[in-house]
Chain A
């Protein structure tokens, strides 16, 4: 009882802070637990970009951005707590970086009318804006990723995958199960043989899975992994001498920390990426305006890494959407509903990215009322262990929308009828 009273008093104190004009961007991050290796650089990039915008440009349209960080540990219960704790602060957009938490939040944000942006993760069928008014997953989603990977393999084999065996190694959760449906459809189309192997959370134990791979000798292994699972998988692949160039991770299984533990053995491992990597001009600004002033998020060591860049890209898209919203509504003080309008009118062009100091960081795409999914393009990159960096192998590959669009339609319509949602944008 005493505990309860103390907590009461405390939150009352926190809630009574002064109300200033600011744009609130909650950052549901995870810097602890088995997924921290991926969560930390992403969150650093996300926060650093908002700090940069505040320091260099004096905020977004003159209004300062405020980032509230809340630790979720990739755990849905804590994610819900973080959401409830921050939504009252005037949150404009949520980016939880967790498919599990996304599934929790989709109905909640729709009821509370706050936009949710799940960039390259979350519920794929949320790309259908007719059904999911408050959820966005541009520039790409899991089904795009599956299709891009298959397309790349098909090109590698001269357009014919008919006698190939492909194995999907996936994290046994909503995240890992997402691509199965698409890969099955694509198997029908291209004629390859698909097997799926699950790895249970957190993924430190994969001996039996790789034994099965060794026995079945698939031509290619695709991986939907995250956190410690990636490092273990790369190491196990090296242990059974699986040819690394035939092992392709999705874009959450292709960061530096995933391959460095295996050392030289990881050389040649491939992964997808939805954003380009490399030395972007904006990193210099971040160093000057943020890190040199001692305002770096985290320890400041992650600048330029794959997931740092992606976190920063997420912030870039959020800031651009906020600017668009300010233009549409003619006010710098935007609300969550206005933010949603901004996201729906967002257009990323090469010129815009160039002007922001992030040339070519992502594909060109535009969002519309019906299409919340962006272009869906991705690249394939390969790890060069000697140089210690990722090398882009391809330009942006277009996914097979012929297969994906009907799947998105089917899944989102099922959601709409389950939840009695009237279609928008008619």
Chain B
């Protein structure tokens, strides 16, 4: 009834090609943005920022990044944790080397450095494919973590090998360091998420995105019709790593404030982001958000319900959490192998007909 194309006339190509062609969708999108920018910053507290929104937004950026590489370009990567570490450590080095420059520029700079590293590790993708490429990126994961542990220059020779974010401000408001207000953390992540999601969405709709998808669907056919695989694959690695690097930089500077590379950016982080992408839906920006939400929010929700609500022992809950999240992952993938994004797509198709399906 509400959700339909009928009556929503397009009079220009620009209107015809917009991201949300259905009026209801557009309003929903604006409503979400309005709530995210206009309501949440005023009601958010430390717990909601640190346990829910900030990790969700940061993982969403990482998931979009990996989705570009794996979902759009078809190159499996297990190096996400390592690339996030590159983002975090380059952000730390930039922050401490140039304290007078804005942290926002450092985060973007960290993304650019990660993009360069990503391209370097993406080079083997020109020769090897599929599982073999996954193993090559796995090597990147282990090498990068080892590097940041081994070379003291990366952590400014601190005794513990930890890096910790000094206080930095944006427009006079602290966004890193212990005195950061909850809303400031949230806003800085939100701005990055919205901007990067917008960029990702438009990249994937344009020439670059189409060449990625051509490579994903059949690389030989793509090459024959004139897609340059070198350019397509390396741009996918660069853009993807840029996103992942920005996520790593925010993860370190805004979210945790201090990290240890082996613990924060180990192989389990690579798997976590990969699961987000698979559960959310390969090749979908919305799917990246859905997957990040699923894997960040569900454990917190379960913990609050079982320990806070029912008063169950914490160890039992921690184990149940693993079981429930694992079972739900299997259930979702059996019910809908294309992820939450596909469920959403089917839901939208049904909504178009609702309430008169015949």
Q: Which residues of A contact B (CB under 8 A)?
A: 3-4, 6-7, 10-11, 13-14, 29, 31-32, 36, 40, 69-71, 73, 75-77, 80-81, 84-85, 87-88, 99-100, 103-104, 107-108, 110-111, 123, 172-174, 177-178, 180-181, 198, 200-201, 411, 418-419
Identify A84's interface contact among B51, B159, B177, B259, CB under 8 A: B51
- In the complex, are the beta carbons of B304 and A14 less than 8 A apart? yes
Chain A residue contacts of B51, Cβ below 8 A: 80-81, 84-85
- In the complex, are the beta carbons of B159 and A172 less than 8 A apart? no
- Among B13-21, B123-131, B233-241, B310-318, the stretch that binds chain A is B310-318
**Interface positions of B from 304 to 325, Cβ below 8 Å from A:** 304-305, 307-309, 313-315, 317-319
Sample 27 A-B pairs with CB under 8 A, ordered by A number. A4-B293, A4-B297, A6-B301, A7-B301, A11-B48, A13-B309, A70-B314, A71-B303, A71-B317, A71-B318, A73-B318, A76-B259, A77-B55, A77-B264, A85-B47, A88-B46, A103-B260, A104-B258, A108-B178, A110-B178, A111-B178, A111-B179, A123-B160, A172-B149, A174-B160, A201-B262, A201-B263
Write the chain A residue with the least CB distance to B308.
Answer: A14
- In the complex, are the beta carbons of A104 and B256 less than 8 A apart? yes
Most buried by A among B48, B178, B294: B178
Chain A residue contacts of B52, Cβ below 8 A: 4, 7
- In the complex, are the beta carbons of A178 and B263 less than 8 A apart? no
- In the complex, are the beta carbons of A173 and B161 less than 8 A apart? yes
Identify A76's interface contact among B178, B263, B294, CB under 8 A: B263
Grouping DSSP codes into helix (H, G, I), strand (E, B) and loop, the B interface class, with mixed when no group exceeds half, is helix
- In the complex, are the beta carbons of B160 and A7 less than 8 A apart? no
Chain B residue contacts of A13, Cβ below 8 A: 309
Q: Does B166 contact A (CB under 8 A)?
A: yes
Write the chain A residue with the least CB distance to B40.
Answer: A4
Write the chain B residue with the least CB distance to A414.
Answer: B158
Q: Does B266 contact A (CB under 8 A)?
A: yes
Q: Does B164 contact A (CB under 8 A)?
A: yes
Q: Which residues of B contact A (CB under 8 A)?
A: 45-52, 55, 149, 159-162, 164, 166-167, 177-179, 256-260, 262-264, 266, 293-294, 297-298, 300-301, 303-305, 307-309, 313-315, 317-319
Give A117 to B307 CA distance when docked, in angstroms. 25
Give A7 to B258 CA distance when docked, in angstroms. 27
List 11 additional contacts besides A71-B314, A104-B257; criterion CB under 8 Å: A4-B297, A7-B304, A75-B263, A76-B259, A77-B264, A103-B260, A123-B160, A173-B161, A173-B263, A174-B162, A201-B262
Give A200 to B293 CA distance when docked, in angstroms. 30
A43 to chain B, nearest CB (A): 9
Chain A residue contacts of B294, Cβ below 8 A: 3
